Amino acid sequence: MSENNYYDINLSKTVSENRLLGLWRMMKGYHWLYIGATIALAVATISRTGIYLVLRTFIDDIVIAGNFGRDLVIIILMFIGLALFQGASSFASGWMASKTAESATRRLRNFLFDHLQRLPYAYHAEAKTGDLIARATSDIDAINRFYSDQAIGIGRILLMFIVNFVAILQLNTRLALISVVAIPVIIGVSLFFFRLVSKAYEAYQEQEATLSSRLQESITGIRVVKAFARQGYESYKFDQENWQKFRLGKRLLSIHSLFWPISDIICGAQMLAAFFFGALMALDGEITIGTYMAFASLVIWIIWPMRGLGRLIVQTSTGMVSYNRVAELIKQDREPLTEGEYQAEGAVKGEIVFNHVYFEYEENNPVLKDINFICNPGDVIALLGSTGSGKTTLVNLLPRFYDPISGVVTLDGVDITQYPRKYLRSQIGIVEQEPFLFSRSIRENITYGVHRKVSDDEVVQAAKFAAVHDVIQAFPKGYNTLVGERGVTLSGGQKQRVAIARALLKNPRILILDDSTSSVDTETETQIRSALEHLMQNRTTFIIAHRIQSVMDANLILVFDEGEIVQKGTHQELMQESGMYRDIFDIQTRIEIELEKEISSVNV
Amino acid sequence: MSTFEEFEEKDYGKLNTHIMKRLLSLLIPHWKWVVGFLACIAIVSSLESYTTFLGARIIDAGIIAGSREAIINTVMLYGSLIIIQSAAVFGFIYLVGVLAERVRYDLRKNMFNHLQQLSLSYFSQTPVGWIMARLTSDTERLSDLMTWGILDITWAVINITTAGIFMFIINANLALIVVVMLPILIVIAFRFRTRILYHYRRSRKMNSKITGAFNEGITGVRVIKALSREDDNLEEFADLTDDMYEASFKAAWLSALFLPTVQVISAIGLGIVLWRGGLQVQVGTMTIGGIQAFVSYVTFIMWPIQDLARVYAQMQNAVASAERIFNLIDTEPDVKNRPKTVDTKTIEGDIRFDNVHFFYQKDDPVIKGLTFDVKKGEMVALVGPTGGGKTTIVNLLCRFYEPTQGTISFHGVDYMDMKLKDIQSRIGMVLQTPHLFSGSIRDNIRYGKLNATDEQIEEAAQLAGAHDFIMTFEQGYDQDVGEGGNLLSVGQKQLISIARAILAQPELFIMDEATSSVDTLTEALIQRGMERLMEGRTSFVIAHRLSTIKRADKIIVIEDGHIEEMGNHRELIQKQGKYYNLYTQQFRQELEAQYDIFNKPEPVES
């Protein structure tokens, strides 16, 4: 799947039940870099050990032997050379490891972002936004840390141990054995403590969250707090949570304040024991003074890093859990956008036929039952019915947000499941009741989804037709005004008109309108209505209607009840027969009569 | 909006004596803890240097001098020092850690209590997220600097100093070489750390943009699909991840370069020390143990230097945090008691708005010259389009805001002469989107009167008409309402907030009616609850329901900050003006809702 330059492999193919294997495969393309990082790390470790061995030669063969000629210079140069080499390879290792980690996570982020927008709508309708975001952000961060800190950190400690142990073994076998006696104890203690720490830390973090929501609640409810003059009480409540956090922090600290000195004592005792026996051996002439000195330094590099091992091992479990959560998401199937048996050219005409269409979200609970109707190009189809009667579901079938479970929807005589989704959607415009606007400028929101350069004139023209130009002009920054949290808040009616402008620019053949204007005042309603009329010209239009006034001119009115079309026809036809439609119409007439009565009763 | 730009955060602050004093004042109440952890870290740090010195003695006095006794004695001493050191480690971690938590606690407490004093206008002009960041991340940063930061600096300085002293004791000439090397190391380290932190913060900023992009990509997925924006979006998103990659990779490889650089420089210094030192052993001015000690001192000097550099880099950010925190604490409430106030036992009586004006910005008046009288016990309905100023009038009435011109008076007394608490504690308020606090239903009702008994709470709920639905919950009054009352419907929340207001026994009652539809039964209950509350009380209602409006003694039509029409229902209908239009539109909508026209219309009987 190299359909773009932003991720070169299909990561869903790398998913594995074995989490370590999965994490390894997710690095694909950077494996050699990561191996390179490990090799460089080994080289750096060996060089550092080499430095101490040079030091041993320096003491034994130069200082003690009193050999201060050219050999001294050579030794010193070797010493500095090794240090340089060690520095260079340790930098190379860090560079390669972070390049791997950052590249792999960048690719993962890009992949996941694209993946999310290409997952079927049905998936999104079920998923929780917060959960998806957590997987896309903090879980990816955790995977990044696994690559850049934890895996390489564990590698570093192990390499340090192996290399230095082998070096001491070369110096003297007995010394080597003496210097690692306490290592299992150190690892055990550190694992034990960091498990405790991670639990205490979790509790501490949870309390942080509690405290934050308490704070947020108090700020958002400030009017209530003030209205009841409950400032003191709020302070009291906040203080309780605040104090609880203090207490949990104290507990976390107590664990830390025990672990570090205890591990200090164990490591210190091990180190001192090694010094002691080493010194006695040197005293007895079993080893040279240089050997002792090298040994005394190497021992430090074996013992002290070990106590960090527990922390790293405990932390990797977060990385693993995060991997699972991300893997679960990326192995979901995308909906193909460009695949389709029928490759249409140019624009569609807009003839739509529903032929025995059924649909259900969950088994045996049909939402649409045997839907049949024909819509000619340019027709206006009105859908009327209560909430949950299937109107929205029906229009969701057109852009293939969902596919029917049986029956066929055809567009210009071709089954819509044979059109590539992308082409199909390019032919359809949707204006929702509360349209979603993106937190960018108004101009960008209007041109959103138009895949070409759009001139300012065109944008203004569309906004004028949508009757929103004046509103936009009134903002200090005009069309460059930001929408959303960081910018202005638009009212429902204004948002709708921006969406109408957006649809006008897109210029689709088929239009889906959610015509609910109940929340706006009369003036705005007239404006929206005229904007809509403009938009509907020469397009096949589906209106989800809530009022009879907006359906009277439709070519076909479909009255829905519990997923079925109970009546269809034009306004005139439906008025002829008894049924839901005429009942609705009667009520509206009756309301007017009642209103008149009400007014006149006042006027008496 | 321009106001947001004011809240864009500055990353760096300059430390000056003023801020320094205020920062130190945070520690003054806990000075014993400070002294404690400073003492502990001083012990730890100097013992670290001393034990390295002892390591040299093992070689010189023990191995080379051939004295087994000296080895044993030195190791024993070393061992006991490790134990003392561990005790001090325990001491400093505990003391400084707990102190850090304590400073956080203090800061949050101070800020929260101060927030409670601030006026409503502060909250309407400050994003919630901004305030939250002061009490969370800024607090963390500041307290870390004032505790762990001070600890690290102390440790590093003592460590370097004592190591220096021991090096001078061993060999002054060689020690001088190290001393020359030190400033170079420190400057390099500081530069590195500042750069690293800069890129790191840049990457965190990109990270929050990426989170925002994910958020939009997920919540707007329907629009994205409908408009086939996938490819463009990915391209835009990839720009973000590119920037993020660039910043975090840079931070990472700079970090990877940092320690090796310090190490190489110290290795060069050490090379010179070894060369000169080796020669000096020959003439007897240097010992082999001394060489060993120098190797250790110089090798491990990178740690204190790294710490110094880290704290130095963090300090700039922490000072910026401090400025923001102090800024919050220093904000004066707009609305506060006047120096001289009269004691009011009651606010009952006639209410008068006399030519009241109000604005946030001078050129953009919100309320323009409002004058009206309300008799004791009257019910006033405020009607008019959204944004016309109804809510502001209510806020003025509660003295959440104060008139910028004109007066509001209760029974003839200008309310600016009264105490805030005397006014606000006598007002009962039911909001349009009622705010409940997480906790049980009982807790929420009790908010109206903190010392109310359970019986009183139930009685209030009965009166409000909330009792019946409360009893349908498994846990009854102990039912949890969720964060902000999320687990309840709007109608239920409103009933509970009515019960809360009833319990408070207010003298003046204010209600903001819900616009969103609630079911007919709940609606009727709310109406009854309101009536109970209004009995014999002066009340103001921002009204949306016809039944409420019609019952009002006085209807005020507010548009664009001034009174458009005023009178009772009959008068205003006959006038056939704005009220008439509002009324007929509302009438249609209510009846449509009432007949529930799209749900199996019942035959209408009229």
Are A331 and A359 members of one domain? no
Specify if B230 maps to a domain: no
8 Å CB contact of B429 and A399 = no
Specify if B198 maps to a domain: yes
DSSP state, residue B287 = -
Specify if A298 maps to a domain: no
8 Å CB contact of B592 and A591 = yes
Are A206 and A121 members of one domain? no
pLDDT at res. A2: 43
pLDDT at res. B340: 86
Does the pLDDT of residue A432 top 60, yes or no?
A: yes
Q: What is the DSSP string of A81-107?
A: HHHHHHHHHHHHHHHHHHHHHHHHHHH
What are the pLDDT digits (tens) for A124-146? 988 888 889 989 998 999 999 99
ipTM of predicted assembly, 2 dp? 0.87
Q: Which domain holds residue A477?
A: 352-579
Are A431 and A554 members of one domain? yes
Q: Which of B102, B241, B292 sits opposite A293 (nearest CB)?
A: B292
| B576 part of contact set with chain A, CB < 8 Å | no
CA separation for the pair A417, A340 (Å, rounded) = 7
Specify if B217 maps to a domain: no
Residue ranges of alpha helices (H) inside B118-229 are: 120-125, 128-133, 139-144, 150-170, 172-219, 221-226
Average pLDDT, rounded, for chain A: 89
CATH number for A398: 3.40.50.300
Q: Which helix (H) or strand (E) holds B18?
A: helix B17-25
Specify if A51 maps to a domain: yes
Total-model pTM: 0.85
Q: Residue B235: its chain A contacts at CB < 8 A?
A: 6
Rounded to a whole number, what is the distance in Å from the CA of B476 to chain A's nearest CA?
Answer: 23
Are B257 and B353 members of one domain? no
**N-term to C-term CA, chain A:** 78
Lowest-pLDDT choice from A482-496, B141-155, B314-328: A482-496
Nearest C-alpha neighbor of B178 from the set B273, B53, B264, B263: B273
Specify if B304 maps to a domain: yes
Query: Looking at this protein, which amino acid is placed at residue A444?
Result: E
Are B447 and B469 members of one domain? yes
Does the pLDDT of residue B557 top 70, yes or no?
A: yes
Rounded to a whole number, what is the distance in Å from the CA of B120 to chain A's nearest CA?
Answer: 7
Burial class of residue A453 (count of CB atoms within 10 Å of its CB; 0-12, 13-18, 19+): exposed
Angle (CA) B499 B501 B507, round 5°? 140
For residue B365, the cross-strand partners are B359
Q: Are B151 and B92 in contact (CB under 8 A)?
A: yes
Nearest CA in chain B to A76: B271
CA separation for the pair B298, B276 (Å, rounded) = 15
8 Å CB contact of A208 and B136 = yes
Are B417 and B441 members of one domain? no
What are the pLDDT digits (tens) for A583-599? 888 887 888 888 888 88
Nearest C-alpha neighbor of A448 from the set A435, A467, A465: A435
CA separation for the pair B220, B276 (Å, rounded) = 71
Specify if B127 maps to a domain: yes
| B260 part of contact set with chain A, CB < 8 Å | yes
The model's confidence at residue A372, banded by pLDDT at 50, 70 and 90, is very high
Are A122 and A180 members of one domain? no
Nearest C-alpha neighbor of B364 from the set A484, A492, A474: A474
Rounded to a whole number, what is the distance in Å from the CA of A407 to chain B's nearest CA?
Answer: 23
The model's confidence at residue B4, banded by pLDDT at 50, 70 and 90, is very low
Last residue of a domain, one of B281, B299, B330: B330
Q: What is the DSSP string of A538-600?
A: TSEEEEEESSGGGTTT-SEEEEEETTEEEEEE-HHHHHHS-SHHHHHHHHHHHHHHHHHHHHH
Are A161 and A213 members of one domain? no
Specify if A446 maps to a domain: yes
C-alpha distances out from residue A171 to A53, A290, A301, Å: 9, 10, 16
Say how many C-beta atoms besides its own lie within 10 A of residue B368's C-beta.
16
Are B402 and B418 members of one domain? yes
8 Å CB contact of B98 and A249 = yes
Are A150 and A245 members of one domain? no
Q: Which helix (H) or strand (E) holds A410?
A: strand A406-411
Lowest-pLDDT choice from A367-371, B337-341, B546-550: B546-550
Specify if B525 maps to a domain: no
Are A128 and A179 members of one domain? no
Last residue of a domain, one of B301, B330, B359: B330
Are A21 and A158 members of one domain? yes
Last residue of a domain, one of B330, B356, B381: B330
Which among A201, A223, A297 is the top mutation candidate for probing chain B, defined by the most B β-carbons within 10 Å of its own β-carbon? A223
* Chain length of chain A: 604
Q: B371: helix, coil or strand? A: strand
Rounded to a whole number, what is the distance in Å from the CA of A321 to chain B's nearest CA?
Answer: 20
Does the pLDDT of residue A153 top 90, yes or no?
A: yes
8 Å CB contact of A275 and B574 = no
8 Å CB contact of A98 and B274 = no
Does the pLDDT of residue B5 top 50, yes or no?
A: no
> Sign of the CA dihedral B128, B134, B136, B138?
positive
For residue B565, the cross-strand partners are B557
Q: Which domain holds residue B494?
A: 434-505
Mean pLDDT for the stretch of residues A423-431: 91
CA separation for the pair B411, B423 (Å, rounded) = 12
Specify if A158 maps to a domain: yes
Q: Which of A55, A257, A518 sits opposite B93 (nearest CB)?
A: A257
Are B441 and B422 members of one domain? no
CATH number for B378: 3.40.50.300
Burial class of residue B604 (count of CB atoms within 10 Å of its CB; 0-12, 13-18, 19+): middle
Does the pLDDT of residue A523 top 70, yes or no?
A: no
Q: How many CB pairs under 8 A join A and B?
A: 425
CA separation for the pair B507, B350 (Å, rounded) = 12
Specify if A52 maps to a domain: yes
Which among B228, B239, B493, B533 is the top mutation candidate for probing chain A, defined by the most A β-carbons within 10 Å of its own β-carbon? B228
Specify if B123 maps to a domain: yes
Are B487 and B399 members of one domain? no
Does the pLDDT of residue A602 top 80, yes or no?
A: no
DSSP state, residue B542 = E
CA separation for the pair B595, A401 (Å, rounded) = 33
CA separation for the pair A284, A294 (Å, rounded) = 17
For residue A513, the cross-strand partners are A431, A543
Q: What is the DSSP string of A275-311?
A: HHHHHHHHHTTSS-HHHHHHHHHHHHHHHHHHTTHHH
CA atoms within 13 A on the CB side of B283: 6
| B85 part of contact set with chain A, CB < 8 Å | yes
8 Å CB contact of B438 and A426 = no
CATH number for A164: 1.20.1560.10
Specify if A596 maps to a domain: no
CA separation for the pair B75, A275 (Å, rounded) = 8
Mean pLDDT for the stretch of residues A15-33: 93
CA separation for the pair B296, B23 (Å, rounded) = 37
Q: B343: helix, coil or strand? A: coil
Hey, which residues 311-370 in chain B have their CB within 8 Å of chain A?
none
Comparison of pLDDT for B241 and B592, the residue scoring more: B241
The total of structural domains in chain A comes to: 3
CA atoms within 13 A on the CB side of A123: 19
pLDDT at res. B602: 40
The total of structural domains in chain B comes to: 3
Specify if A299 maps to a domain: no
Nearest-10 Cα torsion for A402, A403, A408, A409? 30
Are A458 and A561 members of one domain? yes
8 Å CB contact of B237 and A261 = no
Q: Are A49 and A162 in contact (CB under 8 A)?
A: no
Angle (CA) B102 B113 A485, round 5°? 100
Nearest CA in chain B to A234: B116
8 Å CB contact of A224 and B281 = no
Q: Are A512 and A429 in contact (CB under 8 A)?
A: yes
Are B405 and B463 members of one domain? no
Query: Looking at this protein, which amino acid is placed at residue A181?
Result: V
Which backbone phi and psi does B244 adopt, to 5 degrees?
A: -60, -45
Are A498 and A466 members of one domain? yes
What are the tokens at B330?
């220093």
Burial class of residue B489 (count of CB atoms within 10 Å of its CB; 0-12, 13-18, 19+): middle
Rounded to a whole number, what is the distance in Å from the CA of A476 to chain B's nearest CA?
Answer: 9
Are A500 and A537 members of one domain? yes
CA separation for the pair B596, B251 (Å, rounded) = 62
Are B405 and B450 members of one domain? no
Instruction: Write the CB contacts of B597 (distance below 8 Å, at least 6 apart in sequence).
Output: A584, A587, A588
Are B366 and B472 members of one domain? no
CA separation for the pair A449, A68 (Å, rounded) = 79
Are A21 and A125 members of one domain? yes
Are B114 and B41 members of one domain? yes
Average pLDDT, rounded, for chain B: 88
Rounded to a whole number, what is the distance in Å from the CA of B436 to chain A's nearest CA?
Answer: 8
Mean pLDDT for the stretch of residues A51-60: 92
Are B161 and B69 members of one domain? yes
Hey, which residues 474-513 in chain B have their CB within 8 Å of chain A?
483-484, 500, 504, 510
Q: Are A437 and A498 in contact (CB under 8 A)?
A: yes
Nearest C-alpha neighbor of A162 from the set A38, A36, A46: A46
What are the tokens at B76?
């024993």
Angle (CA) B13 B19 B25, round 5°? 140
Q: Which of B229, B248, B271 sits opposite A80 (nearest CB)?
A: B271
Which backbone phi and psi does A281 adopt, to 5 degrees?
A: -65, -40
Does the pLDDT of residue A352 top 60, yes or no?
A: yes
Q: Which of B59, B116, B435 sits opposite A220 (nearest CB)?
A: B435
The model's confidence at residue B386, banded by pLDDT at 50, 70 and 90, is confident
CA separation for the pair A359, A394 (Å, rounded) = 9
C-alpha distances out from residue A207 to A200, A204, A211, A342, B329, Å: 11, 5, 6, 57, 24
Hey, which residues 275-294 in chain B have their CB within 8 Å of chain A?
275, 278-279, 281-282, 288, 291-292
Specify if A589 maps to a domain: no
8 Å CB contact of B447 and A269 = no
What are the pLDDT digits (tens) for A245-294? 999 999 999 999 999 999 999 999 999 999 999 999 999 999 999 999 99
Specify if B411 maps to a domain: yes
Are B404 and B462 members of one domain? no
CA separation for the pair A285, B193 (Å, rounded) = 47
pLDDT at res. B34: 96
CA atoms within 13 A on the CB side of A473: 9
> Where is mean pLDDT largest: A503-517, B279-293, B510-524?
B279-293
Does the pLDDT of residue B451 top 60, yes or no?
A: yes
